[in-house]
A and B are shown apart, each in its own frame.
Chain A
Amino acid sequence: QVQLVQSGSALKTPGASVKVSCRTSGYTFTSYTINWVRQAPGQGLEWVGWINTNTGNPTYAQGFTGRFVFSLDTSVSTAYLQINSLKAEDTAVYFCARDLYLSVAAPGYWGQGSLVTVSS
């Protein structure tokens, strides 16, 4: 079965970096894009962007360019989200999610979420 398992919670100080991992299994990793979605405490869902796992080409939503970086390690079927120069407002749960089907870009499989807390 399709599974996306994310790394655990992280507590970081402002200005530091964090790398969230999303390890996948149960399907061919390079066949489906991986989306990243942010949810600040008590807030709604915000699409951060997605990465084409076949080409490695990322697409970032406005507001997530520059400090947010998607990457892949196809040898271990894992996607990564790195956030540099962390700010307090980056505190949120970050989800990775896979398209439901090849023909359906709606994220149908989700990781459990990774809480990133930025505090001095």
Chain B
Amino acid sequence: DIVMTQSPDSLAVSLGERATINCRSSQSVLYSSNNKNYLGWYQQRPGQPPKLLIYWASTRESGVPDRFSGSGSGTDFTLTISSLQAEDVAVYYCQQYYSTPYTFGQGTKLDIK
């Protein structure tokens, strides 16, 4: 199984500041035949189902604000929120969909400082 490890476990950032969450996979999730990273980022607010923010490691899902961006390739990935808003308080997860089981990271809790 591919193990997904996020850092940090929790993070507090001031409103308007940048938030950065990292995700590392135990093996590459880059599929060489199409040069795509099979990595998604999700936001989960309390009491809500997860919401897909980013897929292919860097493609923003429709309707997701452009302050959210994803980067990285192979085994190391980053989710960046360029200017934190109050509604961004949530837990964020990465997930690989390269091979089953489609494992998630342990989650990163993001709060306002």
Contact = CB atoms under 8 A, between A and B. Distances in A.
Contact of B61 (A59, A61, A100): A100
A44 B52 CA distance: 15
Interface in B1-33: 1
Interface in A82-120: 95, 97, 100, 104-108, 110-113
A106 B97 contact: yes
Given A62-B101, A95-B49, A110-B49, A44 B56 contact: no
Interface residues of A, number: 23
B102 A47 contact: yes
Contact of B55 (A49, A62, A106): A106
Assign chain B's interface to a size class. Answer: 20 to 34
A46 interface: yes
A45 B55 CA distance: 17
**Majority SS at the chain A contact face:** strand
**Majority SS at the chain B contact face:** loop
A24 interface: no
Contacts of A95: 49-50
A45 B52 contact: no
B49 A113 contact: yes
B1 A104 contact: no
Interface of A: 35, 37, 44-47, 49-50, 59, 61-62, 95, 97, 100, 104-108, 110-113
10 contacts: A44-B104, A44-B105, A45-B50, A50-B102, A95-B49, A100-B55, A106-B38, A106-B55, A107-B40, A111-B49
Given A47-B102, A62-B101, A108-B61, 19 more contacts: A44-B91, A44-B107, A45-B42, A45-B50, A45-B104, A45-B107, A47-B95, A47-B103, A49-B100, A97-B49, A100-B55, A100-B61, A104-B55, A106-B40, A106-B55, A107-B52, A108-B52, A111-B49, A113-B49
